[in-house]
Amino acid sequence: MAIVMIGNPNVGKSAVLSRLTDRPLLVSNYSGTSVEITATQLKSAGKTIDIYDTPGLYSMECESAEQQVINELINSQKVDLILNIVDAVNLKRNLVLTYELLELGIPMVLVINQIDRARQMGIEINCQLLSQILKCEVICFSANTGEGLMELMSLIDKGNKEGKTKDKETGQPVTIIKAEFAGNSCNGNCANCSRSFQEIDSEDLKRAGKAADTARMVTREFGTKSGSWMDKAEKIIDKPFLGTIILLFVAYLAFLALMKFIELSEGPISDLLAPVNSVLEAFILTHLPDSIFTTILAKAVPEGLIIPFTIIMPAMLMVSIIMSLIEDTGLLPRYSVVLERVGSFFGLSGQAVIPLSLGFGCRTPAVMATRILPNQQQRFIAIVLLSVVIPCAATLGILASVIATFEASLMVIMVTMIMTLIILGYVLSRIMSTEEVFIYELPPLRIPLWSNLWTKLKIRFSGFFTEVLPLLLVMSIAVRALIESGLLNHLQSIENITRMLFGIPAEAFAAVLLTIFQRYLAPLILLNLDLSAREATIAISMIALSLPCLPVMVMTVREIGFKGLAKVLAIGMSTSILVGIILNLLLP
């Protein structure tokens, strides 16, 4: 049996799904689109039920990717039941979609979610009356409290028992690709959901009228709204100045939390891994024949495991938690609103402040966090800014010590980095212009459902083991091989070029190139050289504004593919070179 959950954004579809089962297994990605549909399985009476959670939709009439995908799912006749999730508090608008869905003729159950919140606001819905009017089953539900759960489950069981198992061999429109998009369906940007070139016709107006009438008939308002503390908090957050300060502060707190967590966990994890590494190294050396390949493996494998486990893993864990919290509390779209002006300069949604500020802690999970941005172009811009400009904590630390040693000009370096951020962001936004109309729904602030958070966390974090780690290992081996091959020693020959263009010795330039391989080593190479303050300033600027480190590259591949990575690297290298040349010309 196959069930599809359809509803407006922010009604709590994922929360309802979490209630039905706490094991979201698969997230499917329709090839050619970026639409993610979560599929979960429920076992009942010995049969398996597939439940599909779809991204929020205001109307089936719109021509967005989401709607097309949902349409495909329904038309493929895999669907036995539609669960229309509706927001009790916004019945009038939600019912418009309901009426559209009813016209499809597929068995439907209306789940009126957030009934507890409606009650708090003094709204009572007559579910039986609504059921009579719509001629379908209606359940008053709360994902928060579990009200209506038994009723819903028994309805589903009933449908299941009536032998509606479709043969799954026929027509698999859904291919399983990545699992971390689950539960991340709505970022609040309404313009995304309702892309349509159709005018509003009389059918639409009639439906809207019917929806309004129906809503009025079944709703009863009693007493006055009791202003909960969440309402008061919302009023404060939605104030332009105060709200902006609070939101920026939260972004800063997120960055601090990330830093602290990495700091705290690095030590214990390294200690745990040290014996494992020596065992691994010894194992490889003894069991494989003596050769250059073995030496490479022996060094690369432990190396490829240390950094991911000591830094990337805790960072990814913390960022997953932070992202889920910011999404589920309803804060995310507010960033877009508050930073809309600034964001439009960079071609970015205000939400980009989250991954960018996390990038100051560690850029690998920050690249993962760019997923909250509404489209591919913005994700690319954010990833470029993260890879090329934003210095992570490790970089900052080492840069600081190198700056101190050579008495390089901190002011020049900082100004250069800020200017690069602005110019690069501006240029990219003009090249990749996405004319977006700004329409955002601001969901009510709420305390996240822990089960939802846990689900998102599990999915996001499992990606570390299944994708990041293997890729990192492979790339570590490749890199180590490159270093061992002695290719880099041939750089001496380009001493003249580096001197002329950048005013720095060839070894310093090698350090720039080496930032990919060992982010932490690169600046340290400089310490072995004898550089003037001027030379050091230029070299450090070039290092700070160049290529991302290996884990970031791996994450970038995961997000935008190898082609995307190639573009990022090209931009990084050009930026670094341009900065070097310009600084060489400008500095006295």
Partner 1 sequence: MKLKDLKPGQKAKVIKVDHNGNLTRRLFEIGIMPGVELNMISHHPFKGPVVFELGNATFALGQRAAAVVEVDKIESD
Interacting residue ranges for partner 1, rule: CB under 8 A: 58-59, 62, 89-90, 92-93, 96, 121, 123, 190-191, 193-200, 204-205, 208, 234, 238-240, 333, 336-338, 340-341, 437-444
Hey, what are 473's tokens? 């290992």
- CB neighbours of 359 closer than 8 A, spacing ≥ 6? 366, 367, 386, 390, 392
Measured from the CB atom, is 56 or 523 closer to partner 1?
A: 56
Measured from the CB atom, is 44 or 194 closer to partner 1?
A: 194
Task: Compute CA distances 245 → 100, 128, 238, 334, 557, whole Å.
Answer: 42, 46, 11, 12, 34
Considering the complex, what minimum distance in angstroms separates the CB of residue 440 from partner 1?
5
Considering the complex, what minimum distance in angstroms separates the CB of residue 213 from partner 1?
13
d(CA 417, CA 130): 60
Measured from the CB atom, is 441 or 484 closer to partner 1?
A: 441
Considering the complex, what minimum distance in angstroms separates the CB of residue 427 from partner 1?
22
Measured from the CB atom, is 109 or 338 closer to partner 1?
A: 338
Considering the complex, what minimum distance in angstroms separates the CB of residue 580 from partner 1?
36
d(CA 497, CA 540): 18
Please, how many CA atoms are within 13 Å of residue 482, restricted to the half-sphere of its CB? 12
Measured from the CB atom, is 249 or 465 closer to partner 1?
A: 249
Considering the complex, what minimum distance in angstroms separates the CB of residue 198 from partner 1?
6
Measured from the CB atom, is 439 or 497 closer to partner 1?
A: 439
Buried (b) or exposed (e) across 327-336, using 16+ Cβ within 10 A? bbbbbbbbbb
Considering the complex, what minimum distance in angstroms separates the CB of residue 528 from partner 1?
49
Measured from the CB atom, is 11 or 319 closer to partner 1?
A: 11
Measured from the CB atom, is 114 or 576 closer to partner 1?
A: 114
Considering the complex, what minimum distance in angstroms separates the CB of residue 121 from partner 1?
7
DSSP state of 309: I
Q: Which helix (H) or strand (E) holds 84?
A: strand 81-87
Considering the complex, what minimum distance in angstroms separates the CB of residue 190 from partner 1?
6
Considering the complex, what minimum distance in angstroms separates the CB of residue 151 from partner 1?
25
Measured from the CB atom, is 91 or 539 closer to partner 1?
A: 91
Considering the complex, what minimum distance in angstroms separates the CB of residue 442 from partner 1?
4
Is the dihedral angle over the CA atoms 17, 20, 24, 28 positive or is it negative? negative
- What 3 state SS string does 194-237 have? CCCCCCCCHHHHHHHHHHHHHHHHHEEECCCCCCCHHHHHHHHH
- What 3 state SS string does 20-81 have? HCCCEEEEEECCCCCCEEEEEEEEECCEEEEEEECCCCCCCCCCCHHHHHHHHHHHCCCCCE
Measured from the CB atom, is 139 or 337 closer to partner 1?
A: 337
Is residue 147 within 8 Å of residue 119, measured between CB atoms? Answer: no
Buried (b) or exposed (e) across 368-386, using 16+ Cβ within 10 A? bbbbbbbeebbbbbbbbbb
d(CA 95, CA 87): 9
Task: Compute CA distances 381 → 110, 378, 439, 568, whole Å.
Answer: 41, 5, 21, 9
Is residue 357 within 8 Å of residue 254, measured between CB atoms? Answer: yes
d(CA 359, CA 386): 6
Residue 48, phi then psi, degrees to nearest 5:
-100, 135
Measured from the CB atom, is 117 or 558 closer to partner 1?
A: 117
Considering the complex, what minimum distance in angstroms separates the CB of residue 333 from partner 1?
8
